[in-house]
Amino acid sequence: MRLNPKRSHARRCAVVFLAAWTVAAAQSPSPPLDSIDQRVQPCMVCHGKEGRATSDGYYPRIAGKPAGYLFNQLINFRNGHRHFPMMTYLVERQSDAYLQEMADYFARQDLPYPPPQALSVPPAVLARGEQLVMEGDASQRIPACRSCHGARLVGVAPAVPSLLGLPRDYLMAQIGAWKNGTRRAAAPDCMAEVAKDLSPADVNAVASWLATQPVPENAKADAEFAEPPPRQCGSIPDHTSTSAP
């Protein structure tokens, strides 16, 4: 396994990163050493300063995502439900309480989003993506993304993440990982069911449309579901327990 897939790409990134780091260091004071800010510094090399993502188009933004969602992901890396060796390596010997504290830190960050990615995608693909996100496709048993991720697609606290402000490559990699079982969540794994019903073309359509959408002014996750979600999801314990038949 090679953790640095493209060396030349890494070099370019290093240059960008160095420049960004230097500018950031000049602009903002360093966090106090004995603080949670200091303790999560290792996260920021890939996820960007304060978790706002870097420009390399893969590592996802973690700033402002719901705390329950972030915590679940850290646990999933720790127990092998998600596979990214460096993430597992970083979190595997930490307590639930400490991982929760890290998740809370990034959930607290309320930072402006950069403009969405400019992608050249055929209009028909974007239209199909928008249809799946907003309405779903009953003939393919695909629910609308918004029925779980919130009407504005910014997620629902505490465990459903926003779908906006993420690179297309990251979105496609995640849905792909769910399709082939290398990313899992607590059972019943609703997202795995949905991903398995998505065709490769539809994965591309959904990811492309989502990646090109601007993030609304108030991007905080909704406090509750507008309507009960259409599927049972193990990572939303309250929902599972209250609406189980």
- Rule CB under 8 A: choose which of 26, 97, 118, 124 binds other proteins: 97
Q: Using CB under 8 A, pick the residue from 28, 41, 55, 243 that binds other proteins.
A: 41
Output the six-digit token pair for 133. 């996100």
Q: Taking CB under 8 A as the rule, does residue 26 contact other proteins?
A: no
> CA 237, CA 136: separation in Å to the nearest integer?
24
Q: Quick one: which segment of 7-15, 165-173, 194-202, 220-228 binds other proteins (CB under 8 A)?
A: 7-15
Which residue stretch of 18-26, 129-137, 142-150, 220-228 sits at the interface with other proteins (rule: CB under 8 A)?
18-26
48: burial class by Cβ within 10 Å (0-12, 13-18, 19+)? buried
List 3, 26, 118, 124, residue binding other proteins (CB under 8 A): 3
Residues 202-231 that bind other proteins (CB under 8 A): none
Using alpha carbons, select from 181, 162, 173, 170 the residue that is nearest to residue 113.
162
Least distance between other proteins and beta carbon 131 (Å): 36
Which residues in 60-83 are b (16+ Cβ under 10 Å) and which e?
A: bbbbbbbbbbbbbbbbbbbeebbe
- C-beta of residue 213 within 8 angstroms of C-beta of residue 116: yes
Count the helix, strand and coil residues of the chain and give each as a percent rounded to the nearest 5.
50, 0, 45
Binding site for other proteins (CB under 8 A): 1-4, 7, 10-11, 13-14, 17-18, 21-22, 25, 30, 33-34, 38-39, 41-42, 44-46, 59, 79-81, 85-86, 88-91, 93-95, 97-98, 101
